[in-house]
Amino acid sequence: MDNTMTLTKKVALIHSFEPEPDAAVNILLTLQQATKDAYVDEASARLVADYVGLTLANIYELVSYYPALNEQPQARYVLTFCHSAPCAVSDNGFIEKTLHQILGIDEGQVTDDGLLAYQGVACVGACEQAPFIKIKDHIFPNLTTDKIQQLVADLKAGHFDDIL
């Protein structure tokens, strides 16, 4: 994916949607996904607000309310794991601990190189593959401590650069 979003590209992307309030979340999600740091900055939010006819405060409320929209720049890879009950029964509780050990950061923090972060989320519908880690659209199923270690090493080595 092309990660550099110029203003013109941003505007073009926004204008590919209907200029109606009900398009706001669609636009924000698409915009966020197309941006390098995967977050909605104020300038972009303002563009969207003006385009769909909502106020900046409206847009902020959306961005801050929904977990899928980010206010802050994100790490290159955000490793999400499920903290809902069904997965807890499938023993995925070790993932958080393991990631904490390997990366030396807390949930929500970013490694110094800006590469990695991990984040607990509610069920993503991959319960049958627990314990798993999800990065963007990709699921790494049935994990063990070793597999997690391998995954982190692979990510650092850039092995997934093309698919993620």
Partner 1 sequence: MITRQPLTSRFGRVKDITDVAAYEQLQGYEGLNQVLDATETQNLNTLIEGALWSRSGNGTNVAVDCQEVLTNEAETKYIICNADEGEPGTFKDKALLRSDPLAVIEGMTIAAYLTHAQVGYIYVRGEFRDLILELMQTIENCRAAHLLGKSIFDVPGFDFDIKISESAGAYVCQEPAALFNAMSGATGRPGGRVTPTKAGFYKQPTLVEDAETFANLPVLYRLGAKAYQSLGTSESGGTKLVCLTGQVKNRGLFEVPIGLELTTILNDPEFGGGSQDGTPFKFIHLGGQSGMILPAENITDLIYSPEALQAEHLTMGTGAIVAATEAVNILDYLVPVARFFMDESCGKCPACRIGTVRIYEALQTLQKQEGVPGDLTRLAHMVDHVASQASCFVGQVVANPIFSAMAAFPEEFKAGVDWQAEVVKEVPW
Partner 2 sequence: MGTVDHRPKITIKPMLNQYSNLAEAVNLEQEDTRDKKEKRQDARKFIVDLEISNHHLNCLECPKDGDCGLEKEALATGMMHTTFHGRKIKDHKIDCTNPFFEYDPEKCLLCGKCVQVCHLRQGRDVLSMGRRGIETRIIPGYGDTWDKSVCESCGNCVAVCTTGALTTKNHKSYRKWETTTVQTTCPYCGTGCQIDMVLKDGKIVDAEPANGPANKNLLCVKGRFAAFNFAQSKDRLTKPLIKKNGKFEKVSWSEAIDYIAKRFTELKTKYGPDSLAGFACSRSTNEDDYVLQKMVRTAFGTNNVDNCARVCHAPSVHGLGMTLGSGAMTNTIKDITTDVDAILLIGSNTTEAHPVIGVQIRSAVQHGAKLIVVDPRNIDLVKNSKLHLQLKAGTNIALINGMMHVIIEEGLADMNFIEQRTEDFDKIKALVADYTPEKVAEICGIDANLIVEAAEMYAKAKKAPLIYCLGVTEHSYGTEGVMSMSNLALLVGKLGKPGCGVNPLRGQNNVQGACDMGCDPFDFPGYQKLNTPGVVEKFEEAWGTKLNPNVGKTSTQVMPAAGEGKIKGLFIFGEDPIVTDPDTNEVRHDLENLEFLVVHELFMTETAEYADVVLPGLSYLEKDGTFTNTERRIQRVRAAIKPLSGVKQDYDVFTEIATAMGYPMHYNSASEIMDEIAQLVPTFGGVSFDRLENPNGLQWPCLDVHDPGTPIMHVHEFTRGKGLFMALPYHPAKELPDDKYPFVLSTGRELYHYNTRAYSERTEGITELAGLGRDKSYIEMNQVNADELGIKDGDRVRVSSRRGTLETYANVGQRVLPDAAFMTFHFPDGNANIVANPMTDDIARCPDYKVCAINIEPV
| Distance between CA atoms of residues 110 and 7, nearest Å | 27
Q: Count interface residues toward ligand FES (CB under 6 A).
A: 10
Select the span of 8-16, 21-29, 82-90, 151-159 touching ligand FES (CB under 6 A).
82-90
Select the span of 62-70, 99-107, 121-129, 137-145 touching ligand FES (CB under 6 A).
121-129
In the complex, the smallest distance separating the C-beta of residue 131 from partner 1, rounded to whole angstroms, is 12
Judge whether 133 and 86 are in contact, CB under 8 Å: no
Structure tokens, 45: 């939010």
Judge whether 56 and 45 are in contact, CB under 8 Å: yes
Judge whether 129 and 142 are in contact, CB under 8 Å: yes
| Distance between CA atoms of residues 151 and 155, nearest Å | 6
Pick from 38, 45, 69, 117: which binds partner 1 (CB under 8 A)? 69
Output 55 or 101, the one with its CB closest to partner 1. Answer: 55
Select the span of 45-53, 62-70, 93-101, 123-131 touching ligand FES (CB under 6 A).
123-131
Q: Is 137 in the site for partner 1 (CB under 8 A)?
A: yes
What sections of 69-110 are H helices per DSSP?
85-89, 94-103
Interface map 126-145 toward ligand FES (x if CB under 6 A): xx--x---------------
Judge whether 28 and 57 are in contact, CB under 8 Å: no
Pick from 39, 41, 74, 83: which binds partner 1 (CB under 8 A)? 83
Determine if the peptide bond prior to 131 is cis (ω within 30°).
yes
Residues that bind partner 2 (CB under 8 A): 42, 45-46, 55-61, 63-65, 71
